[in-house]
Amino acid sequence: MRSVRHLPRPRTLRARLTVGLVVLLAVSCAAVGLAAVVELNGFLTQRLDEQLVQVGTRFPESLEHQGLVPDDHDGDEYGDTRRQATGTFGARLVHGVITNKGLIRSGDPSADLGVNLTAADRERLAAVPADSRPHTVDLSALDDYRVLASPGRDGDVLIVGLPLESVQAAVHRLELVAGIVFGLALVVAGVAGAGWVRWSLRPLSRVAATATRVSELPLASGEVALPARVPESDPHGEVGRVAAAVNRMLGHVEGALTKRHASEERLRRFAADASHELRTPVASVRGHAELALLHPGPVPPEVTRALERITAESSRMGEMVDDLLLLARLDAGRPLESLPVDLTRLVLDAVTDARAAGPEHGWTLDLPEEPVTVTGDAHRLQQMLANLLANARLHTPVGTKVSVTLDSGPDGARLLVHDDGPGVPDDIRPHVFERFTRAEHRRRPHAPGGGAGLGLSIVSAVAEAHGGTVGLASSPGATTFTVGLPAGERT
């Protein structure tokens, strides 16, 4: 089946209104033009019929006697063609057969009897009823004619006709003039209507522009300064009501964003202050526990074990406090160092440390031939690498192979940490870079006490602080973390 091609539909409201206006005007012009043509055609045809009645049958009567005036007709004139219009046609029929015919050409008072009528023309003339009323007949030899048939004095039928050429010419001229005038009117109306619609919809365009600017704002990033409100127009109009509703909506959004930002600021300040205040007592607890372990006197084994646990847990608590403080600083947008960093050296050192901490894993490293240099904070980047490798070591079973790949391209450096462990569970995967997300019991069932679930959130925060990205692709037997960092200087 052939596909039907539809005309393109206007997409914008302005285009639809303009097209609708032009279509309505075109329909109106067509109706006016059709009515004018029909009325003019009827009027001119009526005038032609009146002229035809006034002409009478004088000319076809003269055709029987070839212009002579017989004595037995009380002095009636036969053949007086001097007042006949050019193009007058006459014919005499006896028993349906044309015996005489004639046509006046160019005002010649004598009739031209050499009119060639086809058989179809003769049949049409013979079919005209002798009711002395005008009828339209299409004569192939003479074109359209308005003819009148009347009974003659000798039992014959006399036909007189006038051409419709003048009527048709006037009607065609009106059609041409109306088409040109209406066409120009449609063009002018289309241009003027488009301008009028555009001017009328300016308030709605301002509403759309304001909504577009709001949609482009980073509303999820924190404090947002919303653009100026939409200028309100007539509140009783549709556009004015839309503008007022949009302004009210923007006010509600701005108020909600302000409250949310204030709440987040208070939470960040609390996290930063709490982390900062906890560092000293945690360090003090750890120091006292280590000091107690160094006591030279005899200590019961249970006390020694308790002190060792206090030392380990205080150390873990100190690391968690440091992580929370780092995240609070990154959330606050504090600037990091922006110096050239040899990422190749950092990756090499991080893998070396991970191999020493987890010798039961298989570690492989793939580095490019040339050193990769990025611009950033070396300490934070080192912490990001350490967290990535610690995640692979702590959340995979013994014997897992972990490969670290570093490469660079025109868009920057890319680091891949791949392991063949059990993979990240589907329910954890969408939240793996969120804070306090823990899945070590799913990836490594018998792992010792894990962290607080802040390691990967620090990886994501550090990468974003450097203008980079972080991603995860995981399935059973294949888990890959990918970190992308913007291009920096290459040595």
- The DSSP-derived string for 99-136 is EEEEE--TT-SS-B------HHHHHHHHHS-SSS-EEE
Question: What would the pLDDT profile of 179-200 be if each residue is shown by its tens digit?
Answer: 999 999 889 988 888 888 888 7
The top-scoring range by mean pLDDT among 75-84, 136-145, 325-334 is: 136-145
By CB neighbour count within 10 A (0-12 exposed, 13-18 middle, 19+ buried), where does 18 fall? buried
Contacts of 424 (CB under 8 A, 6+ apart): 432, 439, 443, 472, 474, 479
Q: Take residue 375 and report the two structure tokens written for it.
A: 């611009």
**Of 135-139, 141-145, 340-344, the least confident:** 141-145
pLDDT confidence tier of residue 22, bands split at 50, 70 and 90: confident
DSSP state of 181: H
Q: Is the pLDDT of residue 71 over 70?
A: no
Q: Take residue 297 and report the two structure tokens written for it.
A: 């006197």
Q: Work out the mean pLDDT of the chain and round it to a whole number.
A: 79
> Which residue has better confidence, 451 or 239?
239
Q: How high is the pLDDT of residue 366? A: 92
Q: How high is the pLDDT of residue 364? A: 93
The phi and psi torsions of 478 (rounded to 5 degrees) equal: -160, 110
Residue 490's CB: how many other CB atoms inside 10 A? Answer: 12
Q: How high is the pLDDT of residue 348? A: 92
Question: What would the pLDDT profile of 151-178 be if each residue is shown by its tens digit?
Answer: 988 888 999 999 998 898 999 999 999 9
Q: Is the pLDDT of residue 278 over 90?
A: no
Task: Using alpha carbons, list the distances in angstroms from residue 417 to 346, 445, 479.
Answer: 14, 21, 8
pLDDT confidence tier of residue 457, bands split at 50, 70 and 90: confident
Tell me what percent of the residues of the chain surpass a pLDDT of 90: 21
Q: How high is the pLDDT of residue 6? A: 56
Q: How high is the pLDDT of residue 16? A: 83
**Of 24-28, 114-118, 262-266, the least confident:** 262-266
Arithmetic mean of pLDDT, 306-328: 74
Q: How high is the pLDDT of residue 66? A: 58
Q: Is the pLDDT of residue 441 over 60?
A: no
pLDDT confidence tier of residue 270, bands split at 50, 70 and 90: low
Arithmetic mean of pLDDT, 293-297: 76
Angle of helix 455-465 relative to helix 378-394, nearest 10 degrees? 150
Angle of helix 202-215 relative to helix 238-293, nearest 10 degrees? 10
The three-state secondary structure class of 485 is strand
Question: What would the pLDDT profile of 207-236 be if each residue is shown by its tens digit?
Answer: 777 777 777 777 666 556 666 677 766 667
For the chain, helix (H) and strand (E) counts, in that order, are: 11, 12
Arithmetic mean of pLDDT, 358-370: 91
Q: Is the pLDDT of residue 309 over 90?
A: no
Q: How high is the pLDDT of residue 114? A: 63
Q: How high is the pLDDT of residue 297? A: 73
**Of 84-98, 242-256, 445-459, the least confident:** 445-459
Give the CB-side neighbour count of residue 166, counting CA atoms within 13 A.
14
Q: How high is the pLDDT of residue 37? A: 92
Q: How high is the pLDDT of residue 445? A: 45
